[in-house]
Amino acid sequence: MANQLWLFVVAGGAALLGVALAFGMFMEDRSRALSAMIGAFIVAGCAVGLGILISTQAPTAPQTAPDVHGSQYDLPARPSDQNALPKTP
């Protein structure tokens, strides 16, 4: 649900900006603005459709830690490679 909410918040802001730009273009030159607005609606429709498709897919990263107790942090670190250190004067 949160993914769809984010999608519509971001898409709503972009839509408001688009409406403001379309209004300005329409007041300046109606015939040229009409073809630009049709193209913008086609692109916006494809973007919303793709956003909904992506937001309904399974998450790509695990939502939980690998271990409940966080034991991955208890493992010892490997020894450092002395040749990888920069030369110090």
Instruction: Give the separation between CA 15 and CA 9, rounded to whole angstroms.
Output: 10
Mean pLDDT to the nearest integer, 15-25? 85
State the pTM of this model.
Answer: 0.44
pLDDT band per the 50, 70, 90 thresholds, residue 18: confident
Cα separation values, 26 from 15, 18, 20, 39, 44, Å = 16, 12, 10, 14, 18
Q: What is the pLDDT of residues 25-77, one digit of tens each?
A: 888 888 888 888 888 889 989 998 998 888 888 776 666 666 677 676 676 77
Write down the pLDDT at residue 30: 82
Q: Of 13, 40, 14, 12, nearest to 26 (Cα)?
A: 40
